[in-house]
Amino acid sequence: MKILLTNDDGIYSKGIYALYEELVKIAEVIVVAPITEQSAVGHAITISDPLRIYEVTRRNRFFGYGVKGTPADCVKLAFDDILTTKPDLVVSGINHGANLSSNVIYSGTVSAATEGAMLGVTSFAISLASVEYDDFSVAAKFGSFFAKYLYGNKEINHLLFNVNVPPLKREEIKGWKYTVQGKTRYLDTFEKRVDPRGNTYFWLTGEKIIDDNGENSDDKAVKNGYISVTPLKYDLTDYSFFKEIDKEELKWEE
Amino acid sequence: MKILLTNDDGIYSKGIYALYEELVKIAEVIVVAPITEQSAVGHAITISDPLRIYEVTRRNRFFGYGVKGTPADCVKLAFDDILTTKPDLVVSGINHGANLSSNVIYSGTVSAATEGAMLGVTSFAISLASVEYDDFSVAAKFGSFFAKYLYGNKEINHLLFNVNVPPLKREEIKGWKYTVQGKTRYLDTFEKRVDPRGNTYFWLTGEKIIDDNGENSDDKAVKNGYISVTPLKYDLTDYSFFKEIDKEELKWEE
């Protein structure tokens, strides 16, 4: 098995290293990840600046390729210029912090996996659902398990998954389940400040609001001690809309 | 009708001004848009830097608020700190260039509308489907028509739309239709160059490949002279997946 490993916390982060250490036990792993942290870049790509690739050493040996760009850039560039053959799997993570519910659309971690899926390769994003807890070992082990699981079960035949691992010890985790993207939203608040020159500026803070506690939602699963695995797609069309419309009405008269 | 108008080409761009001129004829319009161009930022939000708001003048009068941030930042900040009451509509555009098929997921223009929808307000993104053609007048008129249409037809009851207007004269446009996100993809290629200090860098170029020519796709509609209106959603769950899985299998044994 050949795996392209990337993330959005950056190639020097703890999460990608923990996952790398587990994945190299079962596969050939090529690391191509941003040189610097890219959190909340969403599905950004770099158009107006050139991309640069650096060879990165960790613990005194070659670790992978650092790219001055976004997670999506890393995957595009890896497929076009670094990998000699297509990988069997694209894995993005381990992100330090949850990518659940409406936050999925801001996620650079998920966008890298989406890019892999768009290139036709089975892909998953994996996140440790806490910014405080920093033991990545359980999430790394599940990442390795899930990579093997997808590789060994070709009949699953689905390209894109979003995995969130609760911040718990192995024995505290109840299992894993397929979930749907929850409807929990965040109420954004900005803190207004004045700089030394008298100019106003704003910091994004944010208070969680619970809109959704659906039995099968990603948040709920993690809250209840399960690893959440959500099958995603990148076709954003709301097909349910088409049942409701009357096609005869579509005129544009001024 | 009260409209929040934003974009990702920036508050000084031609497209937002053309749309503004049409919208002010039918509504109160508050402009909150990025100070600089933000193309291909996807659904990025700014976490690590503070946001700043500047009052922007165009043609010698106050035009709107410029934000040093992404399109999604503009919408968040407008709702939290600029608008005194919720708008009836969030409009994002006119983008100079298409936001069709797989490119929808990279689109800052669409992400601003998505942000509006997530905040519970009917929203649409509007793009002129050409980077060469720069007559925004037809797209601006359609934007104004569509704003009135959504405002006057509450029974539509859908929050998020992606509009693409072909680069044609008014009389050449055949009409408008609801479409689905096409499956056309872009084959990414990078041009490798060497800088004066001998370091390699890469520019993203890109060649279009046609995967999809489905009768109801957004690309096809635009190609055939129709304005494309795609109903979108931001729940990325692939619900079709759940029909296929056997829930009994979900064990994690190492």
- Which residues in chain A touch residue B145, judged by CB atoms under 8 angstroms apart? 252, 254
Residue-averaged pLDDT of chain A: 89
CA-closest candidate to residue A91, choices A44, A151, A45: A151
Token pair of A85 as six digits: 């053959």
- Which residues in chain A touch residue B201, judged by CB atoms under 8 angstroms apart? 50-52
- Give residue A102's pLDDT: 86
Q: How far is A156 from chain B (nearest CA, A)?
A: 8
Residue ranges of A 23-62 with Cβ closer than 8 A to chain B: 37, 39-48, 50-53
φ, ψ for residue A38, nearest 5 deg? -130, 25
Mind giving me the DSSP string for A37-72?
Answer: --TT--S----SS-B-EEEEEETTEEEEEEESS-HH
Q: Does A246 touch chain B (CB under 8 A)?
A: no
- Reported confidence tier of residue B247, pLDDT bands at 50, 70, 90: low
Q: What fold characterizes domain A2-183+215-249?
A: Stationary-phase Survival Protein Sure Homolog; Chain: A, (3.40.1210)
- Give residue B39's pLDDT: 62
Q: How far is B148 from chain A (nearest CA, A)?
A: 11
Token pair of A198 as six digits: 């008298």
- Give residue B40's pLDDT: 61
- Give residue A42's pLDDT: 67
Residues B51 and B80: beta-carbon distance below 8 Å: no
- Give residue A207's pLDDT: 66
Give the burial string for B131-155 (b: 16+ CB within 10 Å, else e): eebeebebbbbbbbbbbebbbeeee
Best B39, B138, B188 residue to mutate vs chain A (most A CBs within 10 Å): B188
B40 Rama sector, left if φ>0, alpha if ψ -120 to 50, beta otherwise = left
Residue-wise pLDDT for B184-194, tens only, equals 877 677 788 88
Whether B234 and A237 lie within 8 Å, measured CB to CB = no
- Give residue A157's pLDDT: 87
Q: Does B189 touch chain A (CB under 8 A)?
A: yes
- Give residue A27's pLDDT: 98
What's the alpha-carbon Rg for chain B, to the nearest Å?
20
- Give residue A40's pLDDT: 61
Q: How far is A60 from chain B (nearest CA, A)?
A: 23
- Give residue B175's pLDDT: 92
CA distances from B56 to A167, B72, B92, B249 (A): 46, 19, 18, 59
Q: Is the CATH code 3.40.1210.10 the one for domain B2-182+214-249?
A: yes
| Cα torsion through A113, A119, A123, A127, rounded to 10 | 0
What's the alpha-carbon Rg for chain A, to the nearest Å?
20
- Give residue B215's pLDDT: 76
State the angle between helix axes of B14-23 and B137-152 in degrees (0 to 180), rounded to the nearest 10: 50
Whether B72 and A250 lie within 8 Å, measured CB to CB = no
Q: Which amino acid is at A162?
A: N
Asked whether residue B60 is marked as a ligand-binding residue, the answer is no
- Please give the Cα distance from A3 to A151 (Å, whole number): 10
Q: How far is B59 from chain A (nearest CA, A)?
A: 25
Residues B48 and B73: beta-carbon distance below 8 Å: no
B106 Rama sector, left if φ>0, alpha if ψ -120 to 50, beta otherwise = alpha
Longest dimension (CA), chain A: 69
Please tell me which of the candidates B46, B177, B239 has its beta carbon nearest to residue A204: B46
Residue ranges of B 94-133 with Cβ closer than 8 A to chain A: 102, 104-106, 111, 114, 118
- Reported confidence tier of residue B213, pLDDT bands at 50, 70, 90: low
| Cα torsion through A248, A249, A252, B1, rounded to 10 | -170
Q: What residues does each domain of chain B span?
A: 2-182+214-249
- Reported confidence tier of residue A241, pLDDT bands at 50, 70, 90: confident
Residue-wise pLDDT for A84-133, tens only, equals 999 999 999 999 999 999 889 888 999 999 999 999 999 999 999 998 99
Please tell me which of the candidates A106, A185, A234 has its beta carbon nearest to residue B43: A106
Three-state DSSP at B176 gives: strand
Mind giving me the DSSP string for A139-180?
Answer: HHHHHHHHHHHHHH-GGG---EEEEEE-S--GGG--EEEE-B
CA-closest candidate to residue B69, choices B50, B94, B56: B50
**Where is average pLDDT lowest: A9-23, A237-251, B45-59, B227-241?**
A237-251
- Which residues in chain B touch residue A50, judged by CB atoms under 8 angstroms apart? 193, 201-203
Q: Residue B100 pLDDT > 80, yes or no?
A: yes
Best A188, A195, A240, A248 residue to mutate vs chain B (most B CBs within 10 Å): A188
Whether B234 and A185 lie within 8 Å, measured CB to CB = no
